[in-house]
Homo-oligomer: A and B are copies of this chain.
Amino acid sequence: MFIMMQDYDINQFKNPLFTVDSVLFTVIDSVLNVLMVKRLIEPFAGRWGLPGGFVDVDKDDNTDMTARRKLTEKTGLSPRYLEQLQVFSGINRDPRGFSVTSAYYALVAHQAVETRIETVEQASWISVNELPNLAVAFDHKHIIDIAHKRLQQKALYSMVPIYCCPDHFTVGQLKDVIETIIEKEIQRKSLMRRIESSDMFEFVDQKVQSGGRSAQLYRVKKDVSMANFERNLSV
């Protein structure tokens, strides 16, 4: 019996606690928000945590699917953009022992999902500005911070922020999303040049009013890949 326990422990030793967690971002009214879930179980029951959990080898072909499944389970939505962030690991980040989380970050347009979010009671958008004063589980505050910095960097040389825009969007909307993410104003002209040169977008035959001259609507072309630029926008 004691030897069985030892075998068991050896197996545990080779396999740290492994989870997948996602930082799902969206921009609402020029504020960057993160989807968080009120934890119902220990450890850290009652605190806010990132949507995530264990891999289910019967359902998940890989950890990307774990991330997507957990986001869908807990929020009813599948993000338009999902990418690995990095692994966070250590002996102190989970009271149960050495743990590893493969963290992802993801983007959605809040317009497409906000009604569905509200029906899932334990999930909620949290402004990143409120995070410092919030009781958060594990090292999830740190993970969000790293994810935010990565997203900021990515926004300087790619068009990824479009995934925070609805299907049809104006240049003004995209500009606002980018400025919210990088926390700095950009030149509309620079954005127009990138929209043009990326060749990712096409006009929607429709305009939308905005308090002044109507704005042209754009959408992402079918089957285009994400544009990356050779230069960063200035910081």
Contacts and interface: CB of A to CB of B under 8 A. Distances in A.
Nearest to A10: B54
B87 A57 contact: no
B14 A16 contact: no
A89 interface: yes
A26 interface: no
B87 A14 contact: no
Contacts of A54: 13-15
Nearest to A56: B13
A100 interface: yes
Interface string A35-56: 0000000000000000000111
A206 interface: no
Contact of A91 (B14, B61, B90, B98): B61
28 contacts: A11-B12, A12-B15, A13-B54, A13-B56, A14-B18, A14-B54, A15-B15, A15-B16, A15-B17, A15-B54, A16-B55, A18-B18, A55-B98, A55-B100, A60-B98, A61-B90, A61-B91, A63-B87, A63-B89, A63-B100, A84-B86, A86-B86, A87-B87, A87-B102, A89-B102, A102-B102, A230-B231, A231-B231
